[in-house]
Structure 1
Amino acid sequence: MTPNARISAAIDILDHVLGGMPAEAALLRWSRSSRFAGSGDRNAVRDLVFDGLRRLRSRAALGGSMSGRGVMLGMCRETGLDPVNVFTGEGHAPLPLTAAELAAGQAPKGLEALDLPDEVWPLWQQSLGHRAEDVALAMRDRAPVWLRVNALRVDPQQAIAALQAEGITCQPHSELPTALMVTDGARKIAASSAYRDGLIELQDLSPQLACAALPAAKRALDYCAGGGGKALALAASGIGSVVAHDASAARMTDLAQRARRAGARIQIAAPGSVKGSFDLVLVDVPCSGSGTWRRTPDAKWRFSMPALHNLLQTQKDILDEVVPHVAPKGHLAYMTCSVLTPENGDQIAAFLTRHPDFEQDFQRSFLPPEASDGFFMAVLRRR
């Protein structure tokens, strides 16, 4: 595919996303109907779509319309591409621009420049204070790829060398050497022997920093395990017994295989089957995902206050549900990939009011760009 043909494909996909289709589903639909597209084409089109969604409002303003054509025209104007040379109508390029399209467009203003929905801004500003604009602007850029070195297999230097041999370059985080930021070759990770042999796992920096700050424990429960990334991190940290549980067994389908690959001992509990108490209970609850909007930018434009209120109730229910599993003097670690206070500090304050036998050890927010994704953790201790 030519560069212009890739832009034409991105226009079609963006129109479907703007019509309500999730970005991944729209990309898969295009890929299945475009067998001629190679892996390089698919990656390039995906990048165009995701970059367009991260900067949807600002590029639509520059392009003069909230449409796939408007967003890609805005991209041309923002990056210095001559749109007349892109919108040629030749081959598979987008159709030529009309006089109205050429005349339309202006510099983004207000929230357009921050690329945030109007509905989220008051809560965003209230939650982030003086960092509100900085974090919003960081969300307009692509997030870096981070890896976690599996200490059960190798040390950081061995992992870096193994990745380098396969054309993947990394640099360790200054405070957490087992966290590696990929500086080149990110698309090679999934096919690398370092990944297949369990030397490394894909995991963002923020949850790695959070897991590294957890208190020591002999027996831990990851109650909302999902794919199992944090359960694997707990096992690699030296905790003797790790139990992984999720309300949906389907989310943990690959965990047993990932644990074998990593050399980690993890017991997988069927939904609703957890028994007994644990020194450490981790709950990474369903949330708005507002801290990960540069990885899933279409979710930013689906944000709604009614959906947030439903999530707040789910978070409260999960917190209350796990209380019986926290041993006396044990710890409860509450995590979200959100930057919004109602899901974070407010949720913890309400929990402590309902459960006076718990007290807070500490809480911490991780914010981009310095901590990659936005993330929150509070660690509570049972008296």
Structure 2
Amino acid sequence: MTPGARISAAIEILNTMADGVPAEQALTRWARGSRYAGSKDRAAVRDHVFDVLRQRRLAAHLGGGDTGRALMIGVLRAQGIDLAPLFNGQGHAPLPLSDAEATAPNAPSDMATLWNLPDWIIPLFQASLGADAEAVAQALQSRAPISVRVNTAQATVADVAEALAEAGIETRTNDLCTTALTVTEGERKLRNSDSYLHGDIELQDAASQAVVASLPDAERMLDYCAGGGGKALAMAARRDATVFAHDIDPRRMVDLPARADRAGATVRQVTTDELDGAGPFDVVLCDAPCSGSGSWRRSPEGKWTFTAGRLEELTQIQDKILDHSATLTAKSGTLAYATCSVLHSENEDRAAAFLARNPDWTQVFTKRFQVDAHGDGFFTAHFKRR
């Protein structure tokens, strides 16, 4: 596909999304109907679509509308790209710009457009992040770093970095966690690399790795909201722990056995019915369902579909998860709470509410990870019984 044809494909997908189709579904639908598109073409089209989602308000302003064509014009204009060679009508490229489209509007001045956030959530960002609010909002408009966790039970960070370099994948160490390598070149080669196929690495954000690294060593550890099981695998890499994984929807863990086998790890899956009988655990990690606001640059559609009502629902779910997890924690054990959210209401407020409901517990550790070039936005807090 030519660069112009990729723009046309992105416009088509954005128009499909305007009818209410989620981004991933729209991308999959297009890919199935476009067998001629190679892997590089699909990746480039995906990048275009996600660039728009990260900067939708700015793209609409600079493109003069909300259609797929206007949004692509706007986001390319924001990136300083010359539009004429891409919009030339040749082959499968979009038609040339009209006189109105060719006239760039004035730069925006309102906060919502500059920050690319829904109006209602801006006060929450300001209250939660203070002087860092603008920097975080700006960071969420760029692509996220790609990081891997080195499975130190099988390999050293230095050896993995060397092996990846030989495979054409350049990396750098990451300040957030000693097991993390951030990919600087060749990220699309990762899944076919020997390091990945042999279980020496797992794709995992560096801040997410740091959350697990902050946990104390223990014999029995539970990943309460395991999802795909990335944190459970990180726990299991310690080798001195028996690790359990639970998720209310076991289908999310369907790939966990194969990943654990590849990593030479053992993770015992526990159903909701079995959970109470499987405890107590020395460490219980609750990576609770949340807004995902700390990872919106990876899933940018989320910031446009998220609502105040959903935030209220999530805080109630988070409270229930913490209360149940407390009953699963051994008397001298550690209960750890985490979210990939930057919002105070999902983080510090939930910790304070838990302590207010449970005066026999105390908070012994807390840390925030901001959205930056190293990793996503995370929050974690550890609790122990007095």
Aligned to 1:352: 355
TM (norm. structure 1) is: 0.97
Alignment of 1:186 with 2:190, yes or no, is no
Aligned to 2:72: 72
CA-CA distance at 1:300 after TM superposition: 1.1
CA-CA distance at 1:371 after TM superposition: 4.1
Aligned to 1:58: 58
The answer to whether the Cα contact below 8 Å between 2:332 and 2:384 also exists between their aligned partners in 1 is: yes
The answer to whether the Cα contact below 8 Å between 1:65 and 1:105 also exists between their aligned partners in 2 is: no
Aligned to 1:232: 233
Superposition pairs for residues 173-322 of structure 1, below 5 Å?
173-174=174-175, 176-274=177-275, 275=277, 276-322=279-325
Mapped to 2, the partners of 1:106 and 1:89 lie a distance apart of 27
The answer to whether the Cα contact below 8 Å between 1:54 and 1:140 also exists between their aligned partners in 2 is: yes
Mapped to 2, the partners of 1:17 and 1:363 lie a distance apart of 39
The one-letter code sitting in structure 2 at the alignment partner of 1:94 is P
- In structure 2, which of residues 364, 371, 385 is the aligned counterpart of residue 382 of structure 1? 385
Mapped to 1, the partners of 2:176 and 2:312 lie a distance apart of 36
Aligned to 2:23: 23
| Further displaced range: 337-346 or 207-216 | 207-216
The one-letter code sitting in structure 2 at the alignment partner of 1:373 is D
The one-letter code sitting in structure 1 at the alignment partner of 2:308 is M
1:147-167 CA distances to partner (integer Å, 9 max, x unpaired)?
100011101111112211211
3-state DSSP of counterpart to 1:171: strand
TM (norm. structure 2) is: 0.96
Structure 1: 5+ residue runs without aligned partners?
none
Mapped to 2, the partners of 1:82 and 1:298 lie a distance apart of 26
CA-CA distance at 1:213 after TM superposition: 1.2
1:165-209 CA distances to partner (integer Å, 9 max, x unpaired)?
211111112463321011111001111111011001110011111
Mapped to 2, the partners of 1:133 and 1:14 lie a distance apart of 27
| Further displaced range: 63-72 or 26-35 | 63-72
The one-letter code sitting in structure 2 at the alignment partner of 1:87 is F
CA-CA distance at 1:263 after TM superposition: 0.8
Superposition pairs for residues 62-211 of structure 1, below 5 Å?
62-103=62-103, 105-110=105-110, 111-174=112-175, 176-211=177-212
CA-CA distance at 1:370 after TM superposition: 4.8
3-state DSSP of counterpart to 1:83: coil
Mapped to 2, the partners of 1:77 and 1:200 lie a distance apart of 38
The answer to whether the Cα contact below 8 Å between 1:327 and 1:382 also exists between their aligned partners in 2 is: no
The answer to whether the Cα contact below 8 Å between 1:159 and 1:199 also exists between their aligned partners in 2 is: yes
CA-CA distance at 1:116 after TM superposition: 0.9
Mapped to 1, the partners of 2:373 and 2:91 lie a distance apart of 43
| Further displaced range: 110-119 or 86-95 | 86-95
| Further displaced range: 135-144 or 231-240 | 231-240
3-state DSSP of counterpart to 2:274: coil
The answer to whether the Cα contact below 8 Å between 2:286 and 2:337 also exists between their aligned partners in 1 is: yes
The one-letter code sitting in structure 2 at the alignment partner of 1:136 is A
Mapped to 2, the partners of 1:20 and 1:199 lie a distance apart of 40
Mapped to 1, the partners of 2:103 and 2:214 lie a distance apart of 54
1:104-123 CA distances to partner (integer Å, 9 max, x unpaired)?
63312221011111121111
CA-CA distance at 1:374 after TM superposition: 0.6
Mapped to 1, the partners of 2:118 and 2:246 lie a distance apart of 34
| Further displaced range: 169-178 or 341-350 | 169-178
Aligned to 1:14: 14
Mapped to 2, the partners of 1:189 and 1:272 lie a distance apart of 37
Q: What is the CA RMSD across the aligned residues, in angstroms?
A: 1.4
The answer to whether the Cα contact below 8 Å between 2:177 and 2:207 also exists between their aligned partners in 1 is: no
The answer to whether the Cα contact below 8 Å between 1:4 and 1:87 also exists between their aligned partners in 2 is: yes
CA-CA distance at 1:21 after TM superposition: 1.9
The one-letter code sitting in structure 2 at the alignment partner of 1:305 is A
Quickly say closer, same or farther: Cα 1:18–1:122, change in 2 above 3 A: farther
Quickly say closer, same or farther: Cα 1:144–1:118, change in 2 above 3 A: same
Mapped to 2, the partners of 1:235 and 1:223 lie a distance apart of 14
The answer to whether the Cα contact below 8 Å between 2:176 and 2:207 also exists between their aligned partners in 1 is: no
The answer to whether the Cα contact below 8 Å between 1:219 and 1:239 also exists between their aligned partners in 2 is: no
Quickly say closer, same or farther: Cα 1:104–1:370, change in 2 above 3 A: closer
Quickly say closer, same or farther: Cα 1:183–1:370, change in 2 above 3 A: closer
Aligned to 2:336: 333
CA-CA distance at 1:312 after TM superposition: 1.1
3-state DSSP of counterpart to 1:119: helix
